Amino acid sequence: MPAAWKAPCLPEARHEPPRRRSDSGAGVRAQAARTVNAVHAGGRSLTDALAEAAASVDARDRALLHELCFGTLRLLPRLQALTGLLLKRPLKPADAILQDLMAIGLYQLTAMRIPAHAAVAATVGAVRVLERPHAAGLLNATLRRFQRESDALLAQVADDESARWLLPHWLLARLRQAWPRHWQAIVDAGNSRAPMTLRVNLLRGTRADYAAALADAGIAARPLAQLEAALQLDHPLPTERLPGFAEGKVSVQDASAQFAAQLLGAAPGERILDACAAPGGKTAHLIERTGGAAQVTALDADPERMQTLRRNLERLGLHAETVVGDAAGDHWQDGPYRRILLDAPCSATGVIRRHPDIKWLRRDADIDALAATQRAMLDNLWPHLLPGGYLLYATCSLLPEENEAQVRAFLQRHADAREVPLAIEGSEARAPGRQLFPQPDGGDGFYYALLEKAA
């Protein structure tokens, strides 16, 4: 079964990094190739692989490393199609990392403002860092050929749908089937750069006060109408530049994700379960919205991610009971709760723009396995909900099998459950629930359904 995916909300660099010394440039491109290869061939998440790689490069080069890895993985279907045309014969499996390095070189030539001669020189130099000096001539020749024939090569790969839409064929087919009127807009948004949205900790001050603090720091932001604590920045920036971040005055959280605590509607004093809680953004929001007076239990099966959740709560000055356990398993028993949030593990097809590695880590066969896990979690959590209580089911997926079809089947299995209609402006009504699509200048793709247990 595929690993459960819960994507953290990390801002993505928009700026083009400055040029570096040639030796530093070759080193950072070699690390980018290792990172992309770890995702593409090794099945690692980009978040983990990039964190490991960033620790081994100069702090000044980390923005460039980030851009090379994110950008290459975002455009990889097109870059792979180009390398297939440029190479006379496929590389040996042992040299697969060289094909990823070639993709990194092509990404610079097609999508970055780095001077072409500098990009080629630094990328070719990376073969020595990777201890494959024999490949320098091949890499130099293929990148130079692309420079000469770029228009013709790009026109040739445009006929390949995967290269054109930057998605694997199986996912493109599923999106077309599920959303015949919306799939092109969904794909375009998924290939864009995500905005950076903040959630103000209302226990530490008002949104207007924090917006004023941002303005004083020269940071432009705007409030989002449907969300009481959200501010969207005009331009992403490192969290250390956010006023009061270290003191817990604000968090980074996607706009669509901020609907979860709002839709669950918990009140002070109520017992709340946040199932699959790590890394803790929604847990913290639940506590903040109830004035710190709710009794929140955060449950997650991953001990390492639970440590991240505890650190996030500590930064914000919040407290929750934390339990390492499986929301789908019988060994964890607790309750009852007045409210339950199930942010279920899913395909994460609604957050591809933040995590382009999803294109390579997910397979068509994974969807049925994920749906089975979601079903087990819903059935296992329902007995822990008090009569008259509410369970909010959420995913960051765009696929009906994980969303409305999952909840519809649950309602058929449980006679004591009923859907509570939700109102989210700009979302698509489903039967049941609401689907939010990724927006180029807005939130990610999310699905929500609110269920009430008969009294």
Q: What's the CATH code of the domain at 280?
A: 3.40.50.150
Higher-confidence residue of 408 and 15: namely 408
The reply to whether 284 and 431 lie within a common domain is yes
The reply to whether 414 and 291 lie within a common domain is yes
Average pLDDT of span 371-394: 97
pLDDT score of 384 more than 60 = yes
pLDDT score of 17 more than 80 = no
Say if 17 falls within a structural domain.
no
Helix (H) or strand (E) holding 52: helix 46-54
The b-or-e profile of 77-114 (16+ CB within 10 A means b, else e) is bbbbbbbeebeeeeeeeeeebbbbbbbbbbbbbeebeb
Catalytic annotation on 276?
A: no
Q: How confident is the model at residue 3, as a pLDDT?
A: 41
Domain region containing 389 = 256-453
pTM of the model: 0.91
Q: How confident is the model at residue 331, as a pLDDT?
A: 67
The reply to whether 260 and 400 lie within a common domain is yes
Say if 433 falls within a structural domain.
yes
- List 9, 69, 276, 396, catalytic entry: 396
pLDDT score of 25 more than 50 = yes
How is 273-299 classified by DSSP, letter by letter? EEET-TT-HHHHHHHHHTTT-SEEEEE
State which of 227, 252, 277 marks the end of a domain.
Answer: 252
The reply to whether 38 and 95 lie within a common domain is yes
The reply to whether 266 and 247 lie within a common domain is no
Tell me the per-residue pLDDT of 38-63, one tens digit each, with 9 for 90 and over: 998 889 999 999 999 999 999 999 99
pLDDT score of 15 more than 80 = no
The reply to whether 261 and 244 lie within a common domain is no
**Confidence band, pLDDT 50/70/90 cuts, at residue 94:** confident
CATH number at residue 201: 3.30.70.1170
CA dist 2 and 12 (Å) reads: 26
Helix (H) or strand (E) holding 442: none
The reply to whether 352 and 394 lie within a common domain is yes
Say if 417 falls within a structural domain.
yes
pLDDT score of 159 more than 70 = yes
The reply to whether 299 and 427 lie within a common domain is yes
Say if 189 falls within a structural domain.
no
The reply to whether 52 and 79 lie within a common domain is yes
Least confident of 140-144, 195-199, 326-330, 432-436: 326-330
The distance of Cα 321 from the centroid of its chain, to the nearest Å, equals: 26
**Confidence band, pLDDT 50/70/90 cuts, at residue 93:** confident
Q: How confident is the model at residue 14, as a pLDDT?
A: 37
Mean pLDDT of the chain: 93
Q: Could you identify the residue written with the tokens 């990390």?
A: 10
Give the residue from 341, 309, 312 showing the smallest Cα distance to 324: 309
The reply to whether 160 and 207 lie within a common domain is no
Q: How many domains does the chain have?
A: 3
CATH number at residue 70: 1.10.940.10
State which of 144, 166, 188 marks the end of a domain.
Answer: 166
pLDDT score of 135 more than 60 = yes
**Residue 97 in tokens:** 């990392």
pLDDT score of 398 more than 80 = yes
**How many other C-beta atoms lie within 10 A of the C-beta of residue 349?**
26
The reply to whether 206 and 124 lie within a common domain is no
**Confidence band, pLDDT 50/70/90 cuts, at residue 2:** very low
Say if 47 falls within a structural domain.
yes
Decide if 102 contacts 142 (C-beta within 8 A): yes
Say if 280 falls within a structural domain.
yes
Q: How confident is the model at residue 138, as a pLDDT?
A: 95
Say if 180 falls within a structural domain.
no
The reply to whether 147 and 278 lie within a common domain is no
Tell me the per-residue pLDDT of 332-362, one tens digit each, with 9 for 90 and over: 667 799 999 999 999 999 999 999 999 999 9
Say if 222 falls within a structural domain.
yes
